[in-house]
Structure formats: structure tokens, C-alpha cells
Structure 1
Amino acid sequence: MANHKSALKRIRSNEAKRLRNRYQHKTTRNAVKKLREMENKKEAEELFPSVVSMLDKLAKKNIIHANKAANLKSSLAKHVAAL
């Protein structure tokens, strides 16, 4: 167990951040899956910018790697264009 007050605070803040990161990552994964399953081009084009924004935010906060975000955005853009 932690012996310092600051270490106790660090444990609390790490847990809060972990839960926030998990929620954001899961929400983004669900949005990506939803976009991939779409058949309607117009709806996909409306959803695409928000998904790209979510991926950029995750990459900025180092929840996912920047290259992974770029690869996902590229493949989603191809998917939307092919509809």
C-alpha cells in the first residue's frame, strides 16, 4: 500500500483516467464498427467526420498510436468513398 499522500492521490487519479480512457476507446471502436457496417452513403458521409474527430482525440491523448489512427481514418475514407 502507498505510504505517501501524493501516492494515494496518484492511485485515485490513475484509476479515474483509466476508466475515462476505456470509455472513450470503447465508444470510438463502436462508432468505427457502426460506420463500417453502413450501406447508405449519405448517412456514412454524415457520420465520418465525427468518427475521424474521435480517432484524432484518442491519438492526441496517446490512447491509441497516431499511425493506427491514420490507418483507421484511411480505411474508413476508402469505405465511405466506395459506397
Structure 2
Amino acid sequence: MVKTVRFNNEITLGQFLKAEGIISTGGQAKWYLQDNPVLLNGEEEARRGKKLHEDDILEIEGEGKYKISYLSAR
């Protein structure tokens, strides 16, 4: 099941991980992404600064599947 997650403004992968409580600080993103596979639209992504766009699908092993949505895009 895909969880739709809404944000006010465009965010990065690292910001997403923190916002969803997957990591507790932004500084942990680099280490988390080195050790945990994250798929962005079916492709492996390990850049914490990667901007997430409307309707992007993130799959995070052990956490779930997320669809990105922005309030400003509606």
C-alpha cells in the first residue's frame, strides 16, 4: 500500500526521511542512505539532497512505500 505524504514546499530526500521520523536528525541521512536501499521511482537513490517532485514514489526497505504530493501543486 502506498502512503501519500503531503508537504507545503519542495523537499529533499534527506528532509523527507527526517519529516517521516525515519531518522532523527538531518545529519543522519548520509549514513542512513549508505546502509539502507531507497528506491525513487524504481531506481536506487542515495543522494540526500535529491529533490523530490510531485507524484514521485519512494520505496524504503523496512519502512514502506510513499507518494510525494505538494499542497501548492493542487
TM range (shorter): under 0.3
TM-score by length of 1: 0.24
TM-score after normalising by structure 2: 0.26
- Higher fraction of strand: 2
More helix by proportion, 1 or 2? 1
